[in-house]
């Protein structure tokens, strides 16, 4: 009868995983020069290319920081692509708790950014600045100030909608305890 070899589990078989082997596991190293971490985050070498770099989490974040998905597209093409992707992923919604951070840190949604464009404000504008700008612009084009002016009424509606979007986003961000 053949005797089995000595194991490394010191008599505690639960220390190793089920169906676990002792052979070496192949680990891909980060493609960034000088990095010895595991490269488990694929990143495209160029837009719409199947070739990938494999970075560690730190270098993947560094690589993706300046990435612009809509680079080279004009505004209409970018809007079409964004709309097509939203249609494909309509079943997935971002959790509301991701919006709890303050403004200006990349937490604004595309709707909020469009609303800020209507008010001609920067992305890091606080809610007091948004309110001031909305009031100043709304006073100029309000239907009571310019009765019968269809263009002013349409501009007022755009301002009102932009303010409502930003107000709802601000209410989601505030902690009501």
Query: What is the dihedral sign for C-alpha 11, 16, 20, 22?
Result: negative
pLDDT at 18 (0 to 100): 59
pLDDT(14) > 60: no
Domains in the chain with CATH codes: 41-90 (no CATH), 110-176 (1.10.287.110)
pLDDT(75) > 60: yes
How many Å from the N-terminal Cα to the C-terminal Cα in the chain? 72
pLDDT in tens, 81-127: 888 877 765 555 555 555 444 444 556 788 888 999 999 998 888 89
pTM to 2 decimal places: 0.44
- 45 vs 25: which has the higher pLDDT: 45
Tell me what percent of the residues of the chain surpass a pLDDT of 70.
73
pLDDT(41) > 50: yes
Q: What angle do CA 113, 118, 120 make, to 5 degrees?
A: 85
Q: Residue 92, Cα to own-chain centre: how many angstroms?
A: 13
Whether the CB-CB separation of 130 and 163 falls below 8 Å is answered with yes
């Amino acid at each position: 009868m053949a005797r089995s070899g000595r194991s490394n589990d010191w008599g505690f078989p639960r220390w190793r995983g089920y169906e676990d082997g002792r052979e070496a596991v192949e680990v891909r190293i980060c493609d960034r020069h000088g990095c010895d971490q595991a490269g488990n985050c694929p990143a495209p070498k160029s837009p719409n290319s199947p070739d990938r770099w494999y970075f560690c989490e730190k270098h993947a974040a560094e690589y993706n920081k300046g990435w612009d998905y809509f680079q080279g597209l004009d505004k209409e093409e970018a809007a079409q692509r964004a709309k097509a992707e939203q249609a494909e992923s309509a079943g997935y919604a971002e959790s509301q708790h991701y919006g709890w951070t303050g403004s200006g840190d990349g937490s604004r949604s595309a709707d909020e950014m469009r609303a800020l464009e209507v008010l001609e404000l920067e992305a890091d504008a606080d809610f007091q600045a948004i309110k001031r700008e909305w009031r100043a612009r709304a006073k100029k084009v309000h239907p009571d100030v310019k009765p019968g002016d269809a263009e002013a009424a349409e501009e007022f509606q755009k301002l009102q909608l932009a303010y409502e979007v930003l107000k709802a986003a601000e209410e989601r961000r505030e902690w009501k305890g």
